[in-house]
Amino acid sequence: MAHAIEVAGLTKRFGPVLAVDDLSFTADEGRVVGFLGPNGAGKTTTLRMLLGLVNPTSGRAVVQGTRYVELGDPVHTVGSVLDGGMFHPGRSGRNHLRALAKAAGISDARVDELLQLVALSDAANRRAGGYSLGMRQRLGLAAALLGDPKVLVLDEPANGLDPQGIRWLRDFLRTLANEGRAVLVSSHVLAEVAQTADDVVVINKGRSVAQAPLTEIMARSGGGMKVAGPDVRRLGDILHAAGANVTGDAAEILVKDRSGEQIGRVIAEHQLVISELAPTGSSLEEIYLELTESTGGPS
Ligand SMILES: Nc1ncnc2c1ncn2[C@@H]1O[C@H](COP(=O)(O)OP(=O)(O)OP(=O)(O)O)[C@@H](O)[C@H]1O
């Protein structure tokens, strides 16, 4: 069976700018796939190619094996939220959805069902222009789900949401995947999708720098020993002089290639005052920064 989403050798050039460079990945039903990369990495351009809004320079981007523009029934196949969803600010949330539903031959009953699903029933008759950012994002999600599609493409849906909104979104995306949908969700902040993504695709400067199940990426991280305390700078200098891999500052260091016992011996030998010595898996944010910085850093 075709993947829900398949991107293969996808490339987009805007004049001298190579926005997407030979990118390949897939997303399958039942999975939330985090599409990650710093600002300008090429995420939006990729999603726009997938949705037939931008023509690739080369390569292909298909939904259930078919290019978006050739889909027989796009509304019931793939839903998307780009730019936080577009709507007329003077129109109520309900009327916005009704207009979209009407154009797609979808019933008003489905509109009410979705308003409830995204927790907008109480605000349904208010002008969408007065909605909070979180409510707008939820309205966009409702619009994307009108046709009950099996594939969802969401560009930075967590942008600007407060922690409560992010939590709601996380649970919502999980539910959509559990219902058997493929959910491709872009973000430049790994933490936003980390708790909900099954797989991640990390890109930088248009190229893929990592793609794997999230658990695998975390397991791949080296970790190390975190040390903190008043004499940590001296400890860092001593370890560094002995050839250890040490990063950090005056308050806290991370030692990648020494065991806790080895570091403890150095602390004892030099009579250093240390308040904390603990193993650490690299935080996801560190892994992400490593991945995206090693190919040249933000542009
Ligand atoms: N229509 C366009 N014309 C020229 N250059 C473009 C166009 N659209 C995007 N770009 C360039 O392509 C590169 C990738 O942009 P893109 O918006 O896809 O990145 P992104 O990862 O989505 O970043 P952001 O999160 O900031 O939107 C950037 O250098 C951008 O300036």
Instruction: Look at residues 146, 147, 126, 150 and name the one whose alpha carbon lies nearest to residue 136.
Output: 126
What is the reported pLDDT for 222?
A: 60
Q: For ligand 1, is residue 85 a contact (CB within 6 Å)? A: no
Taking the C-alpha atoms of residue 278 and residue 264, their distance in angstroms, rounded to an integer, is 11
Of all protein residues, the one whose alpha carbon is nearest to atom 12 of ligand 1 is 19
Instruction: Look at residues 174, 164, 154 and name the one whose alpha carbon lies nearest to residue 214.
Output: 174
Neighbouring-strand partners of residue 183: 32, 152
Q: What is the CA radius of gyration of the chain?
A: 23
Query: Which DSSP symbol is given to 127?
Result: B
Q: For ligand 1, is residue 42 a contact (CB within 6 Å)? A: yes
DSSP of 222-245 = --EEEEESTTHHHHHHHHHHTT--
Q: For ligand 1, is residue 14 a contact (CB within 6 Å)? A: yes
What is the reported pLDDT for 87?
A: 79
Q: How far is the CA of 203 from the centre of ligand 1 (A)?
A: 13
What is the reported pLDDT for 296?
A: 47
Q: What angle do CA 146, 147, 150 make, to 5 degrees?
A: 115
What is the reported pLDDT for 33?
A: 96
pLDDT tens-digit profile, the chain (299 residues): 789 999 999 999 999 999 999 999 999 999 999 999 888 999 999 999 999 999 999 999 999 999 999 999 999 999 999 986 677 888 999 999 999 999 999 999 999 999 999 999 999 999 999 999 889 999 999 999 999 999 999 999 988 788 888 999 999 999 999 999 999 999 988 777 877 899 999 999 999 988 888 777 766 666 678 899 999 999 999 999 999 999 988 889 988 888 888 899 999 999 999 999 987 766 667 777 877 775 544 43
Q: How far is CA 252 from the centre of its chain?
A: 29
Q: How far is the CA of 116 from the centre of ligand 1 (A)?
A: 35
Atom of ligand 1 nearest to the CA of 203: 21
Which residues in 188-242 belong to E strands, given as ranges? 199-204, 207-213, 224-228
Class of domain 222-281: alpha beta
What is the reported pLDDT for 162?
A: 86
Q: For ligand 1, is residue 282 a contact (CB within 6 Å)? A: no
Atom of ligand 1 nearest to the CA of 188: 25
What is the reported pLDDT for 260?
A: 83
The residue behind tokens 């959509």 is 176
User: Architecture of domain 5-219 in CATH?
Assistant: 3-Layer(aba) Sandwich (3.40)
Euclidean distance between the first and the last CA atom of the chain, given in angstroms as a whole number: 38
Best residue for ligand 1 mutational test, from 7, 10, 13, 17 (most atoms within 8 Å of Cβ): 17
Pair of tokens at residue 11: 């490339």
State whether the Cα torsion 84-86-91-95 is positive or negative: negative
Taking the C-alpha atoms of residue 210 and residue 284, their distance in angstroms, rounded to an integer, is 13
Atom of ligand 1 nearest to the CA of 15: 4
What is the reported pLDDT for 284?
A: 67
Q: For ligand 1, is residue 102 a contact (CB within 6 Å)? A: no
Best residue for ligand 1 mutational test, from 20, 43, 45, 295 (most atoms within 8 Å of Cβ): 45
What is the reported pLDDT for 180?
A: 96
Q: For ligand 1, is residue 205 a contact (CB within 6 Å)? A: no
Q: How far is the CA of 205 from the centre of ligand 1 (A)?
A: 10
Which part of the chain has CATH 3.30.70?
Answer: 222-281
Instruction: Look at residues 61, 86, 88, 66 and name the one whose alpha carbon lies nearest to residue 76.
Output: 66
Atom of ligand 1 nearest to the CA of 46: 18
Atom of ligand 1 nearest to the CA of 45: 18
What is the reported pLDDT for 298?
A: 40
Which part of the chain has CATH 3.40.50.300?
Answer: 5-219
Of all protein residues, the one whose alpha carbon is nearest to atom 26 of ligand 1 is 39
Which residues in the chain belong to E strands, given as ranges? 5-14, 17-27, 32-36, 58-63, 78-81, 151-155, 182-187, 199-204, 207-213, 224-228, 246-248, 252-255, 276-280
128-167 confidence digits (pLDDT tens): 999 998 899 999 999 999 999 999 999 999 887 888 889 9
Q: For ligand 1, is residue 39 a contact (CB within 6 Å)? A: yes
What is the reported pLDDT for 283?
A: 65
Report the SS3 class of residue 207.
strand
Name the amino acid, one letter, at 236. G
Strand order in the sheet with 32-36: 78-81, 151-155, 182-187, 32-36, 199-204, 207-213
Best residue for ligand 1 mutational test, from 10, 13, 14 (most atoms within 8 Å of Cβ): 14
Taking the C-alpha atoms of residue 217 and residue 199, their distance in angstroms, rounded to an integer, is 9
Report the SS3 class of residue 226.
strand
